[in-house]
Chain A
Amino acid sequence: MKIVLDRPRCEGHGLCEEAAPQLMHLDDDGELVLDLEEIDGGDVALAKAAARVCPVAALRVQ
């Protein structure tokens, strides 16, 4: 599966990083970086948790 970021919608709230620090982080400018986009196994649940807590619905897993 794949994590998809709607970049213009992302405001850098960082809740996704708290939910899935293994998969994504905010860089020094506060921009979200996806460290892993293609995911499988246990990462899928983590990615879904990250997408779930994004307050502006900028992340999805497909």
Chain B
Amino acid sequence: MGHFHQGMSTPHTSDVDLFADDVVLDPHPVHAELRDLGPVVHLPKNDVYALTRYDVIRDALADWESFSSTSIAFNPAANQALTGTSLASDPPVHTQLRAALTENLSPRALRGLKGRIEAKADTLVAELVERGSFEAVDALARAFPLEVVADLIGFTGHARDNMLRWGQAAMQVLGPMNQRTAENFPVAGELYAWCSEVTADDLAEGSVGRGIFDAETRGAIPAGTAGHIIHQYLGAGVDTTVAAIGNVVALFAAHPDQLDKVRAEPSLTPGAFNEVLRYWPPVNVWGRTTTRDVAIEGTVVPAGAQIAVLLGAGNRDPRHYENPDSFLVERNPADHLSFGYGPHGCAGQGLARLEAHAVIEALSRRVKRLVVGPEVRVPGNITRSIEELPVLEVIPA
């Protein structure tokens, strides 16, 4: 990144614990504190160097040569388990793995699904509006992505019944070796085992999941990788999308003036989703490791350091976004950091957009106002999501 010169110093230090319950529940005050200390802050409690400001984060995500993805998780066992996946590898190996992963997941591959996803969202939202009161996380934020991903991969039965648990666990185990991580390893193992054993015949004909096995049979992707690809779809794509859709509902309920803007101008939908992701990222922290001594604005981060990329802190950096603590759907922060950026930018972001846009469109078409009770949150290592959100009353459009 920067150039080395005389007078380089060590980064500031803070005694913050990024994975403490109160911090994962509400990371924004701690993010602001760390961002004020400097673009990179050493956190001895977590044994990491945290990147806190927008420009530094974006540059690091683009610079895979200095910031390797071989340590995206905050414990060695999870990093070990991810070895050989596109998520945890660097170019040139990464380039091929990524191509195999995105073959069926890129926007161009998903275009045929758009109509079906929109119809599903509209049907579900119409039912909920009719019902008038419901628990939004179970009834919408979980139900919808689960139905979409089950349809996409083509699974039913046992896998479908366990997918939410498995998806949550797959993210939890990326944290440091705390109690949450330890408790979730066996559950994440169930997902891994299912993906290792699943065969083409287990998946519905015509599904993307079946297509991945067909690609393996054709030799378009290396032998034995179909299960890994499905594992990444499910491990990375369920919990995060659930969080994002729950956040859409909560933020529209809390900001009826912003919902009004989207109702009046449906073309604000993509920008509104960008703002939801910027304001409350499903993932606030992600790992990297330095391959060499890296200079960041006059300080040096040593080679081999564990990096904590604070995506949520970058999203609220006042150096980049004016009035960053306000939720404004007209802002359209298309360059937010919540999907990461660069070669490892979220491979499923096209699908996430299809799903979230469909939900936002259906809500803004059918709902004038949502009256909600208090949201319930439980601490999580990596994903920050709402556990329960009672919708007490729907005022229909």
A interface residue numbers (CB < 8 A to B): 8-9, 11-15, 18-19, 26, 29-31, 52-53, 55-57
Contacts and interface: CB of A to CB of B under 8 A. Distances in A.
Contact of A55 (B99, B111, B339): B339
B342 interface: yes
Contacts of A57: 62, 341-343, 345
Nearest to A53: B334
Given A18-B334, A56-B342, 6 more contacts: A8-B95, A12-B350, A26-B108, A31-B108, A53-B335, A56-B341
Interface of B, helix, strand, loop or mixed by DSSP: helix
Contacts, number: 46
Contact of B345 (A19, A26, A52, A55): A55
Q: 5 closest A-B pairs (Cβ-Cβ)? A: A30-B108, A11-B106, A53-B334, A12-B108, A57-B342
Nearest to B334: A53
B111 A52 contact: no
Interface of B: 62, 95, 99, 102, 106-108, 111, 270, 334-335, 339, 341-343, 345-347, 349-350
23 contacts: A8-B95, A11-B347, A12-B107, A13-B107, A13-B349, A15-B334, A18-B334, A26-B108, A30-B106, A30-B107, A52-B335, A53-B334, A55-B339, A55-B341, A55-B345, A55-B346, A55-B349, A56-B341, A56-B342, A56-B345, A57-B62, A57-B341, A57-B342
A13 B350 contact: yes
A34 B234 CA distance: 34
A25 B334 CA distance: 17
A24 B72 CA distance: 34
A4 B95 CA distance: 19
A22 B96 CA distance: 32
A11 B343 contact: no
A50 B11 CA distance: 34
Contact of A18 (B270, B341, B343, B350): B270
A60 B143 CA distance: 39
Query: B99, B334, B343: which has the most chain A beta carbons within 10 Å?
Result: B334
B346 to A, nearest CB: 7
Contacts of B95: 8
B173 to A, nearest CB: 26
A14 B354 CA distance: 13
Contacts of A55: 339, 341, 345-346, 349
A27 to B, nearest CB: 10
A31 B111 CA distance: 12
Contacts of B342: 56-57
A20 to B, nearest CB: 12
Contacts of A8: 95, 99
Given A8-B95, A11-B102, A18-B270, A29 B345 contact: no
A18 B108 CA distance: 16
Nearest to B105: A11
Contact of A14 (B107, B335, B339): B107
A29 B62 CA distance: 27
Contacts of B346: 55
A53 to B, nearest CB: 4
Contacts of B106: 11-13, 30
A11 B343 CA distance: 11
Contacts of B334: 15, 18-19, 53
